[in-house]
């Protein structure tokens, strides 16, 4: 066979190992580098800050083994029993904190989603609204660098729920994900569109490039969908997370598209959010009626989990928005290290 005419495809990009932020993440990093079991005490997990830099980075690194892997780490470590045991303990700590903070949260789909279907009159707490009104280019660049850890794997963790669904819910979920992955066109995959946005903003679109700069509130938003996606027992929560993102995406994307246009960020930067205005408006209807409706028809006992997934998503998004706006209010970077 003549191979000279065959197209060469680069190997998938992997995230780097980053720098440890405490004993738990240091234990994970040391184990990944040496292939020895992680050296940690269970008490250190139980007493750690569930929202803190250390636990969230440790979880992020372990979850990344289930995506594209990490630079210099053998793929077999994905199912290393010692790493899985440590991950399980940290997940329990994370879930405990989420359930504690949402002890008075919604228990039904109606209570969780009805407030999201009407845009509030007061948008002063909305980060996308603030960026639309008076966002500056440096703020949009920081926002994109932060969000890259999510958007460069956009829709990937939600695929894990498809084998766990049946009938209407499965068919509708596949239809939405087909759109997320470009409807058969590689250049239209939403993660690819976000990489184009980053290039317009003079950012590095390499997968996982800004992990070192990402603070704990951002890591927690990505870890949440990984946690829900990897556990069949949390399939309802993953559907709740996915539905929450789709329901809230269109209005925020409209504001961010306007912000990008107002700052002269570039056509690709504007296009990413403009694409989500129309697509997610359609997805919102499908996910509520068919994915959630179909899942509840098959497994009505999962309704509290769907509501929990939605509420947990909003909780962590609010924490992230508070982190970003507080940093900017005090004239600081929202990243751990400011962009050049």
| Structural contact between residues 294 and 209, judged by C-beta atoms closer than 8 angstroms | no
How far CA 265 is from CA of 72, 140, 269, 332, in Å, comes to 35, 8, 6, 21
Digit-coded pLDDT (tens) for 175-212: 999 988 989 999 999 999 999 999 999 999 999 999 99
Each residue of 86-97: pLDDT tens digit? 999 999 999 999
Q: Is 28 exposed, middle or buried (0-12, 13-18, 19+ CB in 10 A)?
A: buried
Interval 12-27: pLDDT, tens: 688 888 999 999 999 9
Reported as a single tens digit per residue, the pLDDT across 232-269 is 999 999 999 999 999 988 888 999 999 999 999 999 98
3-state helix, strand, coil in the chain (%, to 5): 70, 0, 30
Q: What percent of the chain lies above the pLDDT cut of 70? A: 94
**Residues 61, 33: Cα–Cα separation, whole Å:** 12
Measured CA to CA, the distance from residue 66 to residue 8 in angstroms comes to 25
Split at pLDDT 50, 70, 90, the class of 104 is: very high
- Is residue 7 classed exposed, middle or buried when 0-12, 13-18 and 19+ CB atoms within 10 A define those classes? exposed
Q: Residue 8's pLDDT band (boundaries 50, 70, 90)?
A: very low
pLDDT at 40: 96
Measured at the CA of 150, the angle between CA 169 and CA 113, to 5 degrees, comes to 45
What does the pLDDT read at residue 121?
Answer: 55
What's the CATH superfamily of 109-329?
A: Heme oxygenase-like (1.20.910.10)
221: Cβ contacts below 8 Å, ≥ 6 apart: 150, 313, 316, 317, 320
Give the start-to-end residue ranges of the domains of the chain. 23-101, 109-329
Tell me what pLDDT residue 284 has.
83
Residues linked to residue 15 through DSSP beta bridges, in sequence order: 70
Quick one: pLDDT at residue 280? 66
Query: Tokens standing for 17?
Result: 């190992």
Return the number of other C-beta atoms located less than 10 Å from residue 334's C-beta. Answer: 22
The residue that leads in pLDDT, 85 or 284, is 85
């Amino acid at each position: 066979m003549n191979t000279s005419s065959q197209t060469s495809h680069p190997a998938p990009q992997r995230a780097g190992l980053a720098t440890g932020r405490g004993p738990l993440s240091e234990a994970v990093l040391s184990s990944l580098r040496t292939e020895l079991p992680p050296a940690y005490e269970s008490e250190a997990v139980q007493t750690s800050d569930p929202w803190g830099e250390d636990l969230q980075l440790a979880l992020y690194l372990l979850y990344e083994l289930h995506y594209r892997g990490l630079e210099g780490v053998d793929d077999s470590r994905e199912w290393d029993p010692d790493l899985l045991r440590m991950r399980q303990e940290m997940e329990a700590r994370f879930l405990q904190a989420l359930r504690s903070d949402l002890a008075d949260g919604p228990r039904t789909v109606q209570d969780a989603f009805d407030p999201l279907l009407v845009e509030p009159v007061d948008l002063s707490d909305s980060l996308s609204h603030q960026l639309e009104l008076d966002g500056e280019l440096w703020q949009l660049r920081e926002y994109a660098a932060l969000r890259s850890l999510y958007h460069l794997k956009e829709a990937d963790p939600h695929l894990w729920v498809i084998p766990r669904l049946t009938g209407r819910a499965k068919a509708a979920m596949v239809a939405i994900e087909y759109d997320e992955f470009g409807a058969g066109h590689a250049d239209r995959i939403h993660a690819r569109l976000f990489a184009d946005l980053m290039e317009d903003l003079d950012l590095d679109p390499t997968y996982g490039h800004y992990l070192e700069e990402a603070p704990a509130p951002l890591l927690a938003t990505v870890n949440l969908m990984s946690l829900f996606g990897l556990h069949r027992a949390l399939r309802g929560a993953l559907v709740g997370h996915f539905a929450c993102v789709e329901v809230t995406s269109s209005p925020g994307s409209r504001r961010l598209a306007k912000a990008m246009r107002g700052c002269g960020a570039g056509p690709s930067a504007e296009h990413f959010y403009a694409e989500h205005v129309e697509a997610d408006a359609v997805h919102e209807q499908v996910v509520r009626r068919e994915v959630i409706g179909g899942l509840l028809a098959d497994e009505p006992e999962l309704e509290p989990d769907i509501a929990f997934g939605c509420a947990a998503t909003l909780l962590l998004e609010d924490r992230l928005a508070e982190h970003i706006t507080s940093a900017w209010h005090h004239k600081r970077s929202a990243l751990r290290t400011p962009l050049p």
